[in-house]
Every structure is written in structure tokens, then in C-alpha cells.
Amino acid sequence: MHKIKGIVAEIVFIVVTLIIIGIIGHYKKNQYIVLEFGIFSGNAYDVPNTNVNSYQIVDEAIEEFQKLHPKIKIKYSRVGTLKNDYPEWLSGKIIEGKEPDIFVVQEGDFNTFASIGIMKDLGPLISKDKNFDIHRMYDNAIRSGQLDGIQYALPREVEPTLMFVNKTLLKKENIEMPKNDWTWEDFYEICKRVTKDTDGDGKIDQFGTVDFTWEDGVYTNGQQLFTKDGKRALFTQPEVLKAIQFVKEINALNQNMKVTIDDFDKGKVAFRPFPFSWYRVYKSYPYRVIRYDDFEWECVKLPKGPNGNNASELHSFLIGISSRTKHEKEAWEFLKFMVYHPQSQMNVFKYSQGVPALREVTESKDADEELRRYNPDEEISVDTRVLGEVIEQSIVTPRFHKYEKAMDMADKAIYQIINGEDDIEKTLEKLNEDLNEFLN
């Protein structure tokens, strides 16, 4: 009898155990993996945002991604954090050990976050994924997410700089539109020809350019201002001196008259460098009507210096993965979807003011159609293939913790050079010494 009871108890135990295992298995099978995504609210480029929902790109990416991966749920780590408040919020989450699995990292924080080990080295994930070819993205865009040769982030989009040209003013002065391979010399000669007093009151009231900065000069001459690690300044290079001298000569054409953005808006200035995000906004309704309804304009590349290219500084919208995420594989799949999936990348043109990092999307016929969507009655003023060339020729500047303050120091010193009589070489030598002391 005891033997029978023992057998029954054993059978009951086995049955109960199997039921429990089945329940646990069923639970695990239906359990979701939840990934947190960190991003700021509002426009990434500090221009008027024509979109009601600044999260639209990510919202659609999440929706499509979850259709393909029903067991993965993506949620925002926090909604409504403004761009300027985002770095402090993210730093606080990192200190608490509660940072999102995937997060946007702003350029000024990239080097810091990468160097402290909070961002995952994406190299192994990229090399193991047969469905991901990083070379389909723009090389410079890829480089913007690297530190010391390690890929810590990938770009969803980039922002190059173009030159706005007042076609109406050039036509009035019988000057042809500059080609995309134009040089500093071409730029200077056109500025010299258009700079004049048009109403005979003895004061110059038509100008060559506004907002062509000393940084534009340095970058179009192919130069960097700091080493990649941000520990040493490079302002004493001969090519940097030459660039600042050129900008001083361009400004001298105005004979101490201050040229303003308002002058350009009124059609009195021939050239103005513009980030592509501004082009997107001011080329669309209603800003097109508000800003430049009185003259025709077009975009070309920036003029190149003797040691550079027809491009300027490149900015990137970077996304990385936390090195402490518990869901590396799933986080990689979502990051890859945002930066590599064709529709997600096309949505950059659709909802943002940047340029997709995926080359085949930016240079596609669909991209031309998307750019034409807001001004169907006009021709597109920028060729997307030219846009791709600008991205590839641009300068990717090193971003480090003290970068903004270092550039403020440089800006004040070089302002005195351009607008005063300070010796360029001696001032740059002193600036370089001060910056190296500050950086170390």
C-alpha cells in the first residue's frame, strides 16, 4: 500500500512539475523584451520646426520595427526633455546606472561618454551582422561616430553646409552663377565686383557675403583646429593662418560697414553659407514666402581654399547603445533599423531637416521627390548627388568635453584679428599657447 502511495505521489509530483515548467515556458515565450530609448524633444538643428510631432521619425520606426519584432517593445525613457536639458538628464541617468538601452548622444558629449566606457563598442556587432554593410553609409558620417578608431555611435542623419547664392543680384551685375568647383579666388573676385554704393550716398549698400566665418575659411582649406583627442590646439599651422588672412581680406571689402542677416534677407548680399537644415526650412512654405520672396536663390558648394575642398564642417545626429544594456542583440537591431532601414532613412527627409546617412536614400529619385514636396512649382535648388559630395568632402571636427569653451576662446582672439590690426601670426601663437594650457 505504501509502495502504491509512493508511486502515486511520484506521478503527481512529475505532473505538477511538468505543468509548472509548461507555465514558465509559456510565460517566457510570451514575455516581451522592453528597450528604453533616450531622445530629446524638439528640433535637432535650432530652426523653426514645421512638424507638429518632433518624435514622428522615431514613432514610425518603432511601429514598423515592432511589426518585424513582436517580442520587442520600445518605449521612450522620457518624453519632453528639451535639447538643452537633455545632456544633464542623460548624465544623471548614467550616474544612477539607469541610462536608456539606446540613446541619442549630442556631439559635445560624444567624446566624454565614449571615453568613460558608457557607450558600447559597435565594431563586433557590425562585423558579425551579415545584413549590415556600414559602407553603404557616408564615410564622413560614419567617422563622426568614432573615437580613436572605435565605432561608438552611428549617425541617423547629418547636416552639411551649403552656400546660398542670390541669383537675382548676380544677374543684375552680369555675373555667372559659380560652379560647384569654385575657389576662394573666384569667391573674392565676385564679392569685390558686387560690393558697391548703389544709391550714390557715399555708403556701401550692396555686399559680397555675410556669415562666412573664420571657421568656414579654416575648414574649406582642409584644416582641423585640434588633435583628435582634444589635448592639443593646431592654430599655428600655416594653412590656418592663410584661411584667417583670407577671411580678413573678404571682410575688408566692406570698408568697415557692418553686413547683417537682414541685408541678405532684403536681397543686398550675394552669398551666405547656410546649414542644410536652414535650406529645408526656408525653401518650404510658408518660410519661402516670408524670407526670400523678392529674389531668386540657389545653393552651391562652398568655395575651396588651396589646401581644401568645396565643403565645410559636418554635424551628425548620433545614436549609441549603453555598454550596460542587458539586451545587446535587440538594442542593435533597433539602432540598425533607425540608421539603415530605407524607409526609416527616407523619413529623415520627410520629417526632419537633416540629410539621411544612408547614401542610396539621399541620392535617390525618391529623395528628389521628397525635397520637391513642399515647393512643387519650383525646381529643386540642390542636387542630391552634389549634396552627397558635400558630405563626403566635409570636415568632421573632433568633439571633446572642453570643445565649446576652447572655441569661444578662439573666437574672441580671432575676432580681434579680423576686425583690428593685431598681427595674425603672433596672435595665433599666443592663442595656441593659451588653448594648450586650457586643454591640459
Average of per-residue pLDDT values in the chain: 88
Q: Name the pairing type of β-strands 161-166 and 269-275.
A: antiparallel
User: What is residue 26's predicted lDDT score, i.e. its pLDDT?
Assistant: 47
Contacts of 292 (CB under 8 A, 6+ apart): 265, 267, 282
Q: Distance between CA 210 and CA 315 in Å, rounded?
A: 21
Task: Output the DSSP codes for 3-72.
Answer: HHHHHHHHHHHHHHHHHHHHHHHHHHHHPPEEEEEE--BS-SSSS----S-TTHHHHHHHHHHHHH-TTE
H or E segment to which residue 104 belongs? strand 102-105
Per-residue pLDDT of the chain (440 residues; tens, 9 = 90+): 555 555 555 665 565 565 555 555 544 455 789 999 999 988 888 776 555 466 889 999 999 999 999 999 999 999 889 999 999 999 999 999 999 999 999 988 998 899 899 999 999 999 999 999 999 999 999 999 998 889 999 999 999 999 999 999 999 999 999 999 999 999 999 999 999 999 888 889 999 999 999 999 999 999 999 998 889 999 999 999 999 999 999 999 998 889 998 999 899 999 999 898 887 776 654 334 445 557 888 889 999 999 999 989 999 999 999 999 999 999 999 999 999 999 999 999 988 889 999 999 999 988 888 777 755 555 555 678 888 999 999 999 887 778 889 999 999 999 999 988 889 999 999 999 999 999 98
Provide the 3-class DSSP secondary structure of residue 251: helix
Q: Report residue 35: phi and psi, to 5°.
A: -110, 135
Amino acid identity at 85: D
**Residues, the chain, total?**
440
User: What is residue 52's predicted lDDT score, i.e. its pLDDT?
Assistant: 46
User: What is residue 7's predicted lDDT score, i.e. its pLDDT?
Assistant: 59
- The answer to whether 107 and 317 are in contact (CB under 8 A) is no
Cell of 13: 509530483
Q: Distance between CA 163 and CA 258 in Å, rounded?
A: 20
